[in-house]
Amino acid sequence: MNVRTRIAPSPTGDPHVGTAYMALFNWAFARHHGGEFILRIEDTDAARSSSESEAVIFESLRWLGLEWSEGPDVGGQYGPYRQSERREIYREHINHLLDAGHVFQCFCSKLRLDEVRQAQQKRKETTRYDGFCLNLSVEEVAEKVSAGEPHVIRMKVPSEGRCVFVDELRGEVSIPYEQVDMQVLIKADGMPTYHFAVVVDDHLMKITHILRGEEWINSVPKHKLLFEYFGWPMPKMVHLPLLRNPDQSKLSKRKNPTSITYYRDDGFLPEALLNYLALMGWSMPDEREIFSKDEMAQAFDVSRISVRGPIFDQTKLRWLNGQYIRALSAQDFSQRVVDFVLNQDHLSQLIPLVQPRVERLSELAPLVDYLVGTRKTLTEEDFTHNKLGPEEVVRVLHHVGAALEQHTTWARDDLFVLCQSLAEAMEMKFRDFLFPLFVGIGGRPVTLDLFDSMVFLGSSISRARLREAIEVFSVSGKGRKQLDKSYEALSRNL
């Protein structure tokens, strides 16, 4: 068998380390078997998907050295590899299932669906579609469709029995059908949902093994039914444990930087980050901790994947990165430093900022220290200000952080306007409003222009610095909720 695996990220937001982790395991599995690793972009959610996000996914997976042999940017014989370009293919396939009676049109309004769900919640039942439109006659359906009534297409699900499947890592899994929803496969706008597109694409792209996050395990019954409705063999499945925060919750950007770009821009070596991600779910037969992706691929064996939720531990990652750095030859290390700090791109951004400000070349380094390296570790004292109290400082840091989470472009003027309108909405003088940001980003009240600095540092590092700055104040969970609420109220008028 020609092994084919895939990674199927959705281009929404920053490229997640979880995506790199899944990509690595799929890559290693394919490589071990001399097969192919492909990249598919799952952009059926048009409102949330962006081409910028897609570009950063490509860039950061390449930075890690995980190459794919087929994908939207490299082509391949089973394309297109972007789901938004496969509408015709989904249409043909759903028609096939409609003709065979495995799926049905559903005309229920949102209002009705909400009522059904609330009633089920009250009765403490699994919330799921109640099958109302299954009772429509063929004529009724035809009439509604020709009258142009908006509708979705749902899959039929057996009303009793269990779905039994094998997960290569966990063994036999059995899920009662009563917990399986009559999933919407085609939305009212004609776009497929993830569940439909993933099955059609995995089959047409000849995927033989699916290695993905354990959050998808409860979706397997839907997928398995679809494979059966089509009469297709199902790829083998491996559900990997999800990366977790130190408190065991799912890795989230609230508690940990999650973007691959953060680790790149903070000076982690790609091979160290990959090694760390490998350790999250895998151990070498000889249990050694330091190994390359090629060594991992050579030894790869699904039975050595651990099922326990691995903790993404920054301290351990830093330790490992240090091991890699110390193992570099002096020449290699100096090349990395030049590439990271003194590259042409950095210099051309920095020169216009510093040239007008210095009289001697020796003044340069202290001006840009927080840009080319970490800023100082902050304490509450750093935020002492004659007009702002700690609560106001926290409010600014939080609200700017929250606004930046939703902000996709990272251009100087946009950032400036965003902060200006936020200061206005918070009824603060712009000068005062900027103070906590200067300290949060640069470590002191006076630095080079704040917005130029943020552009230079990039979104991942800037956001992380503001997040760390709030941590100095040890805000309680309740305090955070209040901050979220007050930001939400404010953001409506932005």
Question: Which residues does the annotation mark as catalytic?
Answer: 253
Alpha-helical segments (H) within 292-363:
293-299, 314-327, 330-340, 344-354
**Degrees, nearest 5: CA angle 271-275-281:** 150
Contact (Cβ atoms closer than 8 angstroms) between residue 333 and residue 325: yes
Report the b/e string of 17-53 with b at 16+ CB within 10 A. bbbbbbbbbbbbbbbbbebbbbbbbbbbbeeebeeeb
State in angstroms the smallest separation of the CB of 374 from ligand GLU: 31
Tokens standing for residue 114 = 């909400």
Q: Which residue is nearest to ligand GLU (CB)?
A: 212
Residue 473 phi/psi, 5-degree rounding, is: -90, 5
Please, which residue, 8 or 269, has the CB nearer to ligand GLU?
8
Query: Scanning the structure block, which residue is given the tokens 């927080």?
Result: 370
Closest approach of ligand GLU to the CB of residue 54, in Å: 12
CB of residue 198 to ligand GLU, shortest distance in Å: 5
Q: How far is the CB of 281 from ligand GLU (least distance, A)?
A: 15
What does the buried/exposed string (b/e) look like for 299-320 if buried means 16 or more CB atoms within 10 Å of the residue's CB?
Answer: bbebeebeeebbebbeeebeeb
DSSP 13: S
- Nearest CB to ligand GLU, comparing residues 9 and 310: 9
Strands, E assignment, 159-233: 162-167, 171-176, 184-186, 209-213
202 or 392: whose CB is closer to ligand GLU? Answer: 202
Structural contact between residues 44 and 191, judged by C-beta atoms closer than 8 angstroms: yes
Closest to ligand GLU by CB, 213 or 458:
213
Looking at the Cβ atoms of 43 and 382, the one nearer to ligand GLU is: 43
In which region does residue 467 sit, left (phi positive, over 0), alpha (psi from -120 to 50) or beta (all else)? alpha
Residue pair 201/40 in contact by the 8 Å Cβ criterion:
yes
Residues that bind ligand GLU (CB under 6 A): 8-10, 42, 194, 198, 212, 216
Give the whole-angstrom CA distance, residue 428 versus residue 395. Answer: 11
Which of 54, 392 has the CB closer to ligand GLU? Answer: 54
Write the DSSP assignment of 122-145 as a string of letters: HTTPPP----GGGG--HHHHHHHH
| Closest approach of ligand GLU to the CB of residue 79, in Å | 17
* CB nearer to ligand GLU: pick between 212 and 467: 212
In the complex, least distance from residue 84 CB atom to ligand GLU, rounded to whole angstroms: 13
**Residue 279 Cβ, how far from ligand GLU at the closest point, in Å?**
22
Bridge-partner residues for 4, per DSSP? 36
Q: Which two tokens stand for residue 98?
A: 């409609």
Residue 319 in tokens: 């330790």
Element (H, E) at 197: helix 194-204
CA distance 394 to 466: 10
**Tokens standing for residue 222:** 């839907």
**Which CB, 9 or 71, lies closer to ligand GLU?**
9
How far apart are CB 285 and ligand GLU at their closest, in Å? 27
* Of 458, 400, 464, the residue nearest 256 (C-alpha): 464
